A = this chain, B = another copy of it.
Amino acid sequence: MSVPRRPRLEDVAALAGVSRALVSIVIRDAPGASAATRERVRRAADQLGYRPDTRARMLSRSRTRLLGVVFGVQHAFHGDLVDGLYAAASGAGYDLALSAVTPRRDEDDAVAGLLQDRCEAMILLGPRTPAAQLAQLTARLPVVVLARHVRDRAVDVVRTDDAAGLHLAVGHLASLGHRRIAHIDGGRAAGAAERRRGYREAMRHHGLAAHEQIVGGGLTEDDGAAAAADLLHGQPPTAVTVFNDRCATGVLHTLRAGGLDIPGDISIVGFDDSRLAQLSHVDLTTVAQDVDRLATLAVGRAVARLDGKPVDRRELVVPPRLVVRTTTTEAQPGAPTTSRTLL
């Protein structure tokens, strides 16, 4: 039996009794065809179940209208961003090509995969790639770094005002009467340095410089768990701001498992407002990043570069917003919970 080859432009043209070019015009909704012909061609296309071949289309058009996205398959927050990016891209008439960073597939692999796909620009979510390498990539195609600060002037950046986020967090805690507020940081993760800086500034601003305490953390739940264990060894603070929600949930659950009451004994503030923070059993007070705005700006910037439009500021900074849930409360007037160890 003969395989029923997928219908081509030519088949539709033959059926409708017109030229290939005209069918192309109709399919693309391009100007230059009469209403009657349009109707006839469209009917023929439907009848054959014609669908244009993207490969051929891309080859012929100079543009692919494809935006590459590198994201961490592990990060809940990246998932949220991807959702926003899909929406923003389709709004701008672009498609997304996803490339995941997984335990066995690093950022370089992910980027290489996208380069093969001939996407026109690339959006990298919180990349760990060194700035120099990013700059080099920018020479090949427009690159937008999302959710990370990059000094190099060659690279476009869209990010949340991380420092401002920590001002919000610390301010919130200070207004609840907390003084011994610690920060569990993100180490070398994207945004960590900025948030650390914001924490320090805010503590000073509230006259709490003496209580500054930065605990080594990281970006995963396990990093948070480890940091929480550390906290319990010394004299624990009455509140902590944490690098991100993932890490914060690790802190939360570990402290609870250690017998502490959250927020009674310790208040916790996360960062991101990812899905994680919104879970009913986590219900984390956190600094929300404006996902849709970040996504829209990132796509917009990529498109602007592609269109060769002049770009005013290289770095677009989006203000964060504090979302108060149930992991923060007023500082207890009594003596703070004394030091104790886990188990």
**Measured CA separation A129–B116 after assembly (Å):** 31
Which of A24-32, A101-109, A184-192, A297-305 makes up part of the contact surface? A101-109
Question: Cβ of A120 < 8 Å from any Cβ of B?
Answer: no
Residue of B nearest to A276 (CB): B221
- With A83-B102, A98-B98, A253-B253 already in contact, 7 other A-B pairs whose C-beta atoms are closer than 8 Å: A74-B79, A82-B102, A95-B113, A97-B97, A226-B280, A250-B281, A254-B280
In the A-B complex, the 4 residue pairs with the smallest Cβ-Cβ separation, listed nearest first, are: A83-B102, A73-B79, A98-B98, A225-B281
**Measured CA separation A87–B102 after assembly (Å):** 10
Over the window 266-285 of chain A, the binary record of Cβ atoms lying under 8 Å from chain B Cβ atoms (1 yes, 0 no) is: 00000000010001111000
Are B59 and A279 within 8 A (Cβ)? no
**Measured CA separation A87–B117 after assembly (Å):** 18
Ordered by A's residue number, 5 sampled pairs between the chains whose C-beta atoms are within 8 Å are A73-B82, A95-B116, A221-B279, A226-B280, A254-B281
Question: Cβ of A222 < 8 Å from any Cβ of B?
Answer: yes
State which of B58, B78, B83, B280 has its C-beta within 8 Å of the C-beta of A55: B58
**Smallest beta-carbon distance A91→chain B, Å:** 12
State which of B53, B98, B105 has its C-beta within 8 Å of the C-beta of A99: B98
- Within 8 Å CB of A97, what residues of B? 97
**Smallest beta-carbon distance A258→chain B, Å:** 10
Question: Cβ of A64 < 8 Å from any Cβ of B?
Answer: yes
Are A279 and B256 within 8 A (Cβ)? no
- Within 8 Å CB of A104, what residues of B? 83, 86-87
- Within 8 Å CB of A280, what residues of B? 221-222, 225-226, 250, 254
Question: Cβ of A56 < 8 Å from any Cβ of B?
Answer: yes
Question: Cβ of A33 < 8 Å from any Cβ of B?
Answer: no
Residue of B nearest to A86 (CB): B105
Seen from chain A, the residues whose Cβ lies within 8 Å of a Cβ on chain B are 51, 53-56, 58-59, 64, 73-74, 76, 78-79, 82-83, 86-87, 95, 97-100, 102-105, 113, 115-118, 220-222, 224-226, 228, 250, 253-254, 256-257, 275, 279-282
Residue of B nearest to A100 (CB): B82
> Knowing A55-B55, A55-B118, A254-B281 touch, does A103 contact B74 (C-beta < 8 A)?
no
- Within 8 Å CB of A221, what residues of B? 279-282
**Smallest beta-carbon distance A97→chain B, Å:** 8
- Within 8 Å CB of A78, what residues of B? 73
**Smallest beta-carbon distance A57→chain B, Å:** 9
**Measured CA separation A74–B279 after assembly (Å):** 13
